[in-house]
Amino acid sequence: MRDTESTGYHAVSWKEPIVHQLSRKRRRGHQVPLAENELRAAIGDVTSSIPEKMRRKHPPELPELSEPDVVRHYIRLSQETYGVDSGIHMHGTCTMKYSPKLNEYITRSPKVADLHPLQAVETVQGALQIMYEFQKWLCELSGMAEFSLQPRGGAHAVFGNARIIRAYHKLNGEIEQRKEIVTTVLSHPCNGGSPATAGFEVVTLYPNEETGYPDIEALKAAVSSRTAGLMMTDPYDTGIFDSNLEEYIKIVHEAGGLVAIDQANANSLLGRLRIGDVGSDLCHFNLHKSFSTPHGSTGPGTAAIGASEKLSKFLPIPTVKFDGNSYSLDYNRPHSIGKLGEFYGVFPNVLRAYAWMMAMGAEGLEEASEVAVINNNYLLRKLLKVRGVSLPWYESHPFRLQEARFSLQKLHEETGIGVADVNRRIVDYGIQDMETSHEPWIIPEPFTPEPPETTPKEDLDRFAEVIDAISHEAYASPEVVRTAPHNAAISKIDRAPSRDPQKWAMTWRAYLRKARSDKC
């Protein structure tokens, strides 16, 4: 058996208590700025104006800690978290590229942090200029007519696009007839989930076994006078570009439907293909993917919706206008779907992406795309040499774009070790675990690494070496993998509370209540 220590890595492991367990009576971590004596004297006891029945009788059972207690606790938790800055992080479908530090620095300026969204427009000209110019750049990059920066994540943008499709058919008096959205199973799940939330029925197409995408005939059969639109991702998370796209768009348009293409992961297309030129009516970009804004442990993100000339009147309000002199917010858009969320989305992300595009320039964007695609194909060649690893649709698509979805089916059949085991074991080597696949797993035992342009060759080599080492372990000493992790912050967890109402506890108060009743 291989020595589990031989990975040469061990994560920080603090066995940190829950913050409530650190609580000590009467400790305080922050002094509130008290009101001036004169002010207090002038108004007396204001809390006496609170109606008795609306008074808080029991103070919230928040923990009581000093400032150093709080800092140490959360610094420790940060040390037990693995970001892009920590090491090899190729979580696929997520485009985990490096976020330049300058962009972080500028978003923390009071000129950004302390802006209220409802200030008079003459006091926020700088912010509006950045939003206006950035959405113009996105128009140039996508071939779309106008953008909204309001959505706070990809699924939000797809929801917005579904609502625009609804508004369009409603205006044409066809919404009662057009109730179906067609999507493909390899599209991001929000291409099914978001239109369903917007009230559509969803028809899902499956890929052809040889090509990796649906046949034209399958799409034709799914499209009818009931079709409101096609909402799909291209390229897919398999790294395969669905080259039927142009034909799909034609078919859907001829049937009176609209097309929204999910460009969340557009890293392989920058400067090479503009989805608007292909005829898509709507699209969205995730700034936290292709445009380098940090993922923030899962948000806040920003997803920009792009609309063609025909559909831009439906975009959420407000949009940013420029009259040649000054910038303003345009609420006077009678066909707009209204608001998707409060205010204008996550402005700091727009600023970060704006600065990132300034650093890249047009040529830099194209180069980034090329480097990312080279990285992916280089890694792909290395991983295919690993015993037990295969790449579905390799024969029809030996080259992939931004990422590739591999299968460990063979490894699983031959050793009993599947992707969940490998994903725990990879952490022992100091590498972030891998994206498996969105559901349903049409590729068995899937894993999806995505090495963006900021991944050096050394990381690709190391990643492939580690997958190879784990494969060796799986064949020679599978127990090491099955019982992993060994060098992580914690050992294997008990997943039973995941589906047991008696055991699950989403808050400390619920945990204490259930622990108490256990003892009775």
Partner 1 sequence: MLKEIGVQSVEELFVDIPQRIRLKKKLQLPSAKSEYHIRKEVEAILSRNKACGELISFLGAGCWPHYVPAVCDEINSRSEFLTAYAGDVYSDLGRYQAFFEFQSMIGDLVAMDVVSFPWYGWGNVSGDSARMAVMITDRHEILTPHTVSPDRLSIMRGHCEGLADIKLIKNDPVTGQVSLEDLKSKISSKTAAVHIENPTYLGFIESQCKEISEIAHDHGALFTVGVEPLSLGVFAAPGEYGADIVCGEGQPLGMHMNFGGGLLGFLACKDDERFVSAMPHRLITITTTERKGEWGFTYVLPERTMFAARDKAKSFTGTATALWAITAAVYLSLLGPNGLRELAEVIMQKSHYAIKQMSEIGGIKIPVFNSCHFEEFTANFDATGKTVSQVNRVLLNSGVIGGKDVTEEFPELGNTALYCVTEMHAKADIDKLAAALEEAIR
Main-chain phi, psi angles of 488, to 5 degrees: -95, 180
Binding positions for partner 1, 303-322, rule CB under 8 A: none
Check: CB of residue 350 under 8 Å from CB of residue 302: yes
Query: What is the separation, in whole angstroms, between the first and last Cα of the chain?
Result: 45
Please pick, from the candidates 27, 226, 335, 410, the single residue that binds partner 1 as defined by CB under 8 A. 27
Structure-token pair, residue 216? 């034209």
* Per-residue b or e along 478-489, where b marks 16 or more CB atoms closer than 10 Å to that residue's CB: bebbbebbbbbb
Please pick, from the candidates 262, 435, 450, 459, the single residue that binds partner 1 as defined by CB under 8 A. 435
Please pick, from the candidates 424, 451, 454, 455, the single residue that binds partner 1 as defined by CB under 8 A. 424
Please pick, from the candidates 16, 174, 215, 468, the single residue that binds partner 1 as defined by CB under 8 A. 16
Please pick, from the candidates 290, 349, 415, 455, the single residue that binds partner 1 as defined by CB under 8 A. 349
Does residue 384 interact with partner 1 by CB under 8 A? Answer: no
Binding positions for partner 1, 103-162, rule CB under 8 A: 104-106, 108-120, 123-127, 129-130, 137, 140-141, 152-156, 158-159
Check: CB of residue 252 under 8 Å from CB of residue 119: no
Check: CB of residue 4 under 8 Å from CB of residue 44: no
Interstrand relation of 180-184 and 319-322 (parallel, antiparallel or unpaired) = unpaired
Does residue 453 interact with partner 1 by CB under 8 A? Answer: no
91: β partners: 449
Stretch touching partner 1 by CB under 8 A, among 8-16, 214-222, 404-412, 466-474: 8-16
Please pick, from the candidates 28, 250, 310, 387, the single residue that binds partner 1 as defined by CB under 8 A. 28
Please pick, from the candidates 328, 366, 390, 442, the single residue that binds partner 1 as defined by CB under 8 A. 366
Does residue 75 interact with partner 1 by CB under 8 A? Answer: yes
Nearer to partner 1, 414 or 515 (CB): 515
Does residue 410 interact with partner 1 by CB under 8 A? Answer: no
Nearer to partner 1, 320 or 413 (CB): 320
Smallest separation, CB 465 to partner 1 (Å)? 14
Smallest separation, CB 436 to partner 1 (Å)? 10
361: β partners: none
Please pick, from the candidates 178, 274, 284, 482, the single residue that binds partner 1 as defined by CB under 8 A. 274
Binding positions for partner 1, 172-191, rule CB under 8 A: 183, 189-190
Question: In terms of C-beta density within 10 A (0-12 exposed, 13-18 middle, 19 or more buried), how is residue 364 classed?
Answer: middle
The H or E element that residue 354 is part of is helix 347-383
Does residue 164 interact with partner 1 by CB under 8 A? Answer: no
Mark 223-242 with x for binding to partner 1 (rule: CB under 8 A) and - for no binding. Answer: ------------x----xx-
Main-chain phi, psi angles of 484, to 5 degrees: -65, 160
Please pick, from the candidates 166, 405, 412, 482, the single residue that binds partner 1 as defined by CB under 8 A. 166
Please pick, from the candidates 199, 225, 330, 477, the single residue that binds partner 1 as defined by CB under 8 A. 199
Distance CA 64, CA 19 (A): 9
Stretch touching partner 1 by CB under 8 A, among 192-200, 403-411, 442-450, 469-477: 192-200
Closest listed residue to residue 144, CA positions, set 310, 320, 308? 308
Does residue 246 interact with partner 1 by CB under 8 A? Answer: yes
CB atoms within 10 A of CB 10: 13
DSSP 2: -
**Omega before residue 60 within 30° of 0, cis:** no
Closest listed residue to residue 161, CA positions, set 141, 147, 143, 140? 147
Distance CA 238, CA 243 (A): 13
Please pick, from the candidates 4, 9, 177, 197, the single residue that binds partner 1 as defined by CB under 8 A. 197
Smallest separation, CB 193 to partner 1 (Å)? 3
